[in-house]
Amino acid sequence: MLRRSVLLTAVIALTAGTATAAEQRKAPAELPKVAVIGTGGTIAGVSKSRVDFQDYESGKLPVSKLVGDLRPEVGRVADVSTVQFGNKGSSAYTMADFRKLTRTVDEQLRTKDAAVVTTGTDTMEEFAYWLDLTVRSDKPVILTGSMRPWTVIGTDAPANLYNAIQLAASGKTTCFGSVIMLNDEIQAAREARKSDALRMDTFNSGAGGALGVVDQDRVRINRAPARVDKCGKPGWKTPFDLDKIAGPGKSLPKVEIAYSYQDAGGEAIKAFADSGAAGVVTAGTGAGGISPAMTKARDEAVEKKDMVFASTTRTGNGAVYDDKADGSVIGAADLGAQKARILLLLSLATTDDVDKIRGWFTTLGTAEFKSRG
């Protein structure tokens, strides 16, 4: 069994980050147990020819086939089992599906040492951040996929899946929450974003940078998410226990995103309010600015509908902080709009106390290492 105390020391000290898989390899009976949960996406895609890099059907191959193609090599680093959760493009999944996925991951981690979730890259950052906020186990959760289908020349799919399993088996991301592994790079779920529609190096973490890399059989961790500070403590888990806040029969609140641009109208926000949305995330210009018409619609929605708003920037980098002159809007720091929506949705499912939600955005949503002095 992978022990968090040993791992945490290694992560903080960053002294064991270059140990090879060969050095860590155990007898077959002692190999880490890794569950690979398939949801489809490009990684499970089938092309018409070996050079149809963009023209293919996603979510066609079962995850058992993908893992089977990696044998015998994958069997030397982990005792791998598979679960077919679904098999479609990532954008086709609903928030209700996300709830079931969390349950599946937690169930697997009761008996396995780590989990790998394969999914499409289009909304992988949302899959990853959702799991980061809702999975109750602190065991490694790795998301992977590919930019090219399994069946084309030069596909990145097999290498990404193998490296994700190798990373999971290493145990080096215990207490990290969910991470993404693509193109040999390890990214924190909170920070990773898809930055290119076609290139294989599409995922990056902005100013924060990658957590580490997988170089053949070397898993190297260069930094850790701030939540490792609470490893082994009750405070490591988020307040978003789906069994309590979104159990059977309980629906999640409706939260939408409104994008600002030159002379943007307020109709979208009004429509969201009229349709019963509990909250809206605005993707604003610069440090979160929105047009006068959107501002008016937002103010009316807060006053008349008691809606909660979070503010993000459409630039892709930089932070939006609370506007002290307007206590009705929560600054989402450097969370992108789609991730701020996930956090606001879960927050509103848990409480209607805006001050408490603001606190989660400024602590959990903006996790920072605290001074030990």
Q: What is the CATH number of the domain that holds 32?
A: 3.40.50.1170
Say how far apart CA 370 and CA 373 lie, in whole Å. Answer: 9
- pLDDT of amino acid 226: 92
State whether 310 and 170 are in the same domain. no
State whether 207 and 275 are in the same domain. no
State whether 147 and 278 are in the same domain. no
Strand runs (DSSP E) across the chain, as ranges?
A: 33-38, 46-47, 56-57, 79-84, 114-118, 141-144, 178-182, 185-188, 193-194, 203-204, 212-215, 218-221, 255-259, 279-284, 308-313, 329-331
Q: Give the count of domains, the chain.
A: 2
State whether 92 and 199 are in the same domain. yes
Give the end of a domain, one of 236, 261, 290. 236
- pLDDT of amino acid 322: 84
State whether 226 and 344 are in the same domain. no
Residue 248 domain flag: no
Order of strands across the sheet with 185-188? 79-84, 33-38, 114-118, 141-144, 178-182, 185-188, 212-215, 218-221
Helix (H) or strand (E) holding 162: helix 157-170
State whether 232 and 257 are in the same domain. no
State whether 77 and 110 are in the same domain. yes
- Domain with residue 323: its CATH number is 3.40.50.40
So which residues are the catalytic ones? 42
Residue 265 domain flag: yes
State whether 203 and 102 are in the same domain. yes
Task: Specify whether the CB–CB gap between 156 and 113 falls below 8 A.
Answer: no
Per-residue HEC secondary structure of 115-145 comes to EEEECCCCCHHHHHHHHHHHCCCCCCEEEEC
Two structure tokens written together for 238: 């988020």
State whether 310 and 168 are in the same domain. no
42: containing domain:
4-236
- pLDDT of amino acid 4: 47
The series of mean pLDDT values per 10 residues for the chain, 373 residues long, is 44 40 53 98 95 90 97 97 96 94 98 98 96 97 96 96 98 98 96 90 89 96 94 93 79 95 96 96 94 96 94 92 77 94 97 94 86 62
3-state secondary structure of 220: strand
State whether 228 and 257 are in the same domain. no
